[in-house]
Amino acid sequence: MEPSLALVPPSQPTHSHVSLATSATSQGLHDTLAHGLRSVAVDVAEKHPLENRLKSWDATRETLQMTLERNMYGLHAPVRLQMERQLVSSAPTPLSLGLPGMGFTKPGGNVHLDVLMGRDEEITPEDVLIDRAQSSSTAVTGNFHQMMERRMNLV
């Protein structure tokens, strides 16, 4: 992650992409056996400038936050935050927050990671539009004790 104080991501991508011009044979045709199938997405010349900004918005915001913390508090602050995020993302969800599929949390949600990332006060479509049929089909039917036995591999 390169230190940057950019508030808004650039409208054009900063990285270069591989061209398929080198995959053409002497006849000017794409060599599928040597270079794989040709993608239509690669053939699209221009994309809307807003698309790149939306894709890299979170990364730019995180880079700005880490750079500001590094400038104010020193190198230890962003390193500590990265370590905490890594620990929280690998830890299981606490039982007090409910098991995924019980209707308390969204599937794959991690409240602690949301707090560390600053997303705890955001309301996203995933928060509102939880598919109850999908979440109940992934959970074990029955009471809380059966769910815990299944989670701890006691059954």
Quote the pLDDT of residue 49: 80
Could you give the count of Cα atoms lying within 13 Å of 61 in the half-sphere of its Cβ? 9
In single-letter form, the type of residue at position 72 comes to: M
Q: Give residue 132's pLDDT band: very low, low, confident or very high (50, 70, 90).
A: low
Our CA angle for 83, 85, 86, nearest 5°, is 65
Q: How far is CA 123 from CA 12, 50, 53, 56, 114, in A?
A: 28, 22, 20, 19, 11
Quote the pLDDT of residue 155: 74
What would the DSSP string read from start to end of 16-57?
----GGGGB-TTS-B-HHHH-PPPHHHH-----HHHHHHHTH
pTM of the model: 0.56
Quote the pLDDT of residue 135: 56
Nearest to residue 114, comparing CAs of 97, 139, 132, 133?
Answer: 97
What is the arithmetic mean of pLDDT over 65-93? 91
What is the arithmetic mean of pLDDT over 107-117? 79
Q: Is the pLDDT of residue 122 over 60?
A: yes
- CB–CB of 111/142 below 8 Å? no
- Provide the token pair at 114: 């949301």
Q: Is the pLDDT of residue 142 over 60?
A: no
